[in-house]
Amino acid sequence: MATTQRLRRLAVTVLSVAAAFAAAVPAHAGQNWMPLLPDQDFYDFQMFAPPDLQEYAIRQDPREGIFFTYDRTYWALTPPQSRPILNDFFIPVQPLSPFAVAQLNNNLIRAGYPGSGLYVFGSDPLRLDLNTNWMRTDLQWGNRFEGGWIYDDYGMLFNYYSSGPDSQAFTTTNSFAVNSPTTTFEQQAVAGGGGLVNGGFPLVVTTITSESPPPDHIITQTLTQRNSTELTSAGFAWAVRRNLSSAGSGEMRTMRFTFGPRYMQVADRYSIDYGSTQAPFPADGAPATGDVGNGTGAGTGSTAPDGVTPLQFGGWDTSAYNNIVGPEFGLNYVFERGRLSIETDLRFTAGMNWQNTLYRGSNFPAALGADYFRSTYTFANTVAQGTNAANSVAAPPLFVQIYGVGQTNATNAAEHNFVFAPLGEWRLRGRYRVSRAISLNVGYTGMWLGSITRASTNTSFEPSFKPVLVATQNGEDIQSPVLDASGNVTGYTDVPSWTPPPVDRPSRDPNSNNQLRVYNSVGPRAGNDLGYMFVNGIDFGIEVNY
């Protein structure tokens, strides 16, 4: 009995709630109506329905809800200011390095053979008067995403933008035709009458023949500069909107104020890729070609099928990152009439710039050139004529010449700065509503960024003195035997001993075995060279408003 009474009370309660709900909800005709949904005709879900233009409204109301905008941008980024780069000694501009020639001759002179040096060098150098004037203002495709919501004239806005890398390159080529000189040293005893001197010693005729044939190989140097700039921005803001429309005007005017944090990164990279190749001199007059660079400052180190072989390669790279963070203030004005609307947007960011500039690359010696010593020398034992004895004189000592072929990322440096960097942005946009939720947009965007660092303007190409260890004859004397023509010891002479490194302190004295030599590398310029960037271009896209 109790259970039956409870079921009756539950049935009465359900019927009472249903009756109250039916009384509160107005009657709907048709079969499209469903309970518990905000709109009986599904208008909010019909994205492609005709737009509500409020043609008969006394005072038009701005749209509310969630919106998302995608714009495809086509913007131009101004290049950095021009700066001179490199110099005539940073990159070798002669087929034989004068530093290497002078060093080799001096070593031979110190060894006593020959007394005036062995290599004669002379040529008109190819100059490198290079700077960064080749960079141009270039248009680049990018993507911008914005979205958010506004209800009761208050809301949130989110945005993200990426310009993509704006890359440019400039290549310089030097070519040299080089020959292979030959020096032959011959001695011949003259037989027959009258051929004896000093009491019976034969007369020896010494012949030294030097030949300089036509060029038989070619050296090609390729220097490629690259610059890449990319913008990335993200942020969010609180929005407050006010309706400025006049009653009965048929137009809608709104003003929107935004405030929130913004982050923008200006990533700028400047790199130099250097490579030199060696190939047989072409018979048809067309120089052979080859590639020893892979675009990252490092050569491939491989031999090309056409006979081109890598001789030297290296590279230098500077990466500048401007990380700008600060509060952004925005002011937006929209004028709308019918399907068309015009929108202007002004934004200002009081940013602080965390600058990180990174330097890395090769550490080239100034003596490193497109050196190619392929001369042939025949050193024969000579006979010293004396009045009492004929002593054999040994050939000169062997000098091993080692030249660097390639080097990458051998040095690295960094510079960090913290500066105030204001950022201003302005937009002008036209919008056409094609349906209830979809609009097509086209507009112009401009941007000015101050107090930013660019990679090429803050790169310094500087030589520095670094110690190089060599072996020298500056030790204690050694008793060196003197041999006659038959190989018998006839006496002894004092010869300074060779001393291995390190012994001396670093010095510029050529007689020191710890000599200071010039090495070239990249690093920060004196002072932080700040500049600006101006960005402007067109954008077009689509907006979905629900």
Q: What is the pLDDT of residues 364-394, one digit of tens each?
A: 877 766 555 555 656 555 555 554 455 555 5
d(CA 360, CA 362): 7
Q: What is the pLDDT of residue 90?
A: 73
511 compared with 297, residue with greater pLDDT = 511
pLDDT at 540: 96
N-term to C-term CA, the chain: 56
pLDDT in tens, 451-491: 999 999 999 888 888 887 777 777 788 887 777 766 678 88
What average pLDDT does range 212-238 have in this prediction?
91
pLDDT for the residue numbered 293: 46
CA 459 to chain centre: 11
Poorest-confidence range of 119-123, 226-230, 373-377, 511-515?
A: 373-377
Task: Give how far Cα 370 sits from Cα of 100, 254, 269, 275, 299, Å.
Answer: 10, 69, 28, 10, 15
For the ranges 62-66, 87-91, 327-331, 350-354, the lowest mean pLDDT is seen at 87-91
- Domains of the chain by residue range: 2-93+128-179+214-368+403-470+513-545
Reply yes or no on whether the pLDDT at 43 is more than 60. Answer: no
pLDDT tens digits along 416-458: 999 999 999 999 999 999 988 899 999 999 999 999 999 999 9
Cα separation, 144 vs 541, in Å, equals 9
Highest mean pLDDT among 46-50, 108-112, 223-227, 527-531: 223-227
Torsion (CA) 348, 231, 267, 136 in degrees, nearest 10:
-100
* pLDDT score at 401: 60
Give the predicted TM-score (pTM) of the model: 0.75
Please list the helix, strand and coil fractions of the chain in percent, rounded to the nearest 5, in that order: 5, 55, 40
Determine which of 228-237, 262-271, 308-317, 335-344 has the lowest per-residue pLDDT on average: 308-317
Comparing 302 with 10, the larger pLDDT belongs to: 10
Q: Band of the pLDDT at 6, cuts 50, 70, 90? A: low
DSSP secondary structure of 64-103: -EEEEEEEEEEEEEPPPPP-B---TTTS--SSS-HHHHHH
Kindly indicate the confidence band of residue 29, based on its pLDDT and cuts at 50, 70 and 90: very low
With pLDDT > 70 as the criterion, what percentage of the chain qualifies? 68
Residues with Cβ < 8 Å from 22, sequence gap 6 or more?
none
How far apart CA 81 and CA 268 sit, in angstroms, is: 13
Per DSSP, the three-state class of 312 is strand
Q: Quick check: 303 pLDDT over 50?
A: no
